[in-house]
Amino acid sequence: MSKVYTVAVLVGSLRKQSINRKVALALAELAPANLRLNIVEIGDLALYNEDIDVTPPAAYSTFRDQVSSSDAVLFVTPEYNRSVPAPLKNAIDVGSRPYGKSAWSGKPGAVISVSPGAVGGFGANHHLRQSLVFLDVPCMQQPEAYLGGAGSAFDEAGKLSEKVRPFLQGFIDAYAKWVEQHKKS
């Protein structure tokens, strides 16, 4: 029996019914048996401030524990102004502190950007990858994942479109292999 890897999934959109959250949930359903995806909520994290991190707020500690105890990380993000949303950047900062105790270090990662626009969040995807290099998150390079026109990815009942399913399946299958390869080394 192969090992089951836990994946901390960070969704860049805070809306409960966001397309990004729906994609994250769809990926959890499509994930192969060796991955268990868990959404780690970021909406309760206060803006990172080293002054309050002297005695970390409970939300900081809970978040860091959830990421640290995971085997891998997956980012599902919209694009805001050619970058990642502020709550996601804040979560990255909270998880990277205190200095020398980053929750991210060494965890195999991947990014999928989701947007109703045609470009599919290309700017956010690549901007996030820049941060992951510094955080020592080996990020899956291929397949790149940009889901443009995401407003039509789900029907009115919330069911994943059969046109999008193969794309998401290919992405999550490749990511499962990436995690397994990285964790064996």
Q: Which domains does the chain carry? A: 5-182 (3.40.50.360)
Higher pLDDT, 181 or 2: 181
Higher pLDDT, 18 or 2: 18
Average pLDDT for residues 19-44, to the nearest whole number? 97
Residue 119: predicted pLDDT: 84
* Residue 158 confidence class, pLDDT cut points 50, 70, 90: confident
What is the rounded average pLDDT for all residues in the chain? 95
Residue 184: predicted pLDDT: 61
Residue 1 in this model has a pLDDT that exceeds 80: no
The reported pTM is 0.96
Residue 75: predicted pLDDT: 98
Residue 79: predicted pLDDT: 92
Burial class (CB in 10 A: 0-12, 13-18, 19+), 134: exposed
* Residue 37 confidence class, pLDDT cut points 50, 70, 90: very high
Average pLDDT for residues 161-177, to the nearest whole number? 97
Residue 17: predicted pLDDT: 87
* Residue 113 confidence class, pLDDT cut points 50, 70, 90: very high
Residue 169: predicted pLDDT: 98
Residue 183: predicted pLDDT: 81
